[in-house]
Amino acid sequence: MFFLMICHHNADVDALRDELRPKHRDWVKSGGDGLATVLTGSALWDGDGTGIGNFGILEADSLEKAEAFANNDPFALGGIVRSVEFTRLADGFQAGRIDPMTQR
């Protein structure tokens, strides 16, 4: 199954986000130790260029595994993430057109 994950960050966490970014990127590359495959993702900014969150398109066996991926991300464990939304993508989603960020 494929999911769009949108993570909303708390305000005023720029320094902590910068500190945790290497661990976050390692988590993404590992797919959360195999919980999910991250196809693509990026930071989200407001109109002033301030970080407000991040998004990812994930492949996971279940919503529960996608949630576990998000909940155990260093950004979430470090208190950066305020909330996470998941939307399941259509079965016809063309994932083969994306070069995954997670090693398969």
Quick one: which of 67, 72, 79, 66 has its CA closest to 39? 66
Residue 98 belongs to a domain: no
Q: Look at residue 104 in the predicted model and tell me its pLDDT.
A: 60
* Number of domains present in the structure of the chain: 1
Residue 104 belongs to a domain: no
User: Which domain does 76 fall in, by range?
Assistant: 2-93
Average pLDDT across the chain, whole number: 94
Residue 101 belongs to a domain: no
Segment 49-67 mean pLDDT:
96
**CB–CB of 62/32 below 8 Å?**
no
| pLDDT greater than 70 at residue 74 | yes
Q: What is the pTM of this model?
A: 0.89
Look up the CATH number of the domain holding residue 50: 3.30.70.1060
Question: What share of the chain has pLDDT > 90, as a percent?
Answer: 87
| pLDDT greater than 70 at residue 90 | yes
Residue 34 belongs to a domain: yes
**CB–CB of 88/1 below 8 Å?**
yes
Q: Look at residue 95 in the predicted model and tell me its pLDDT.
A: 81
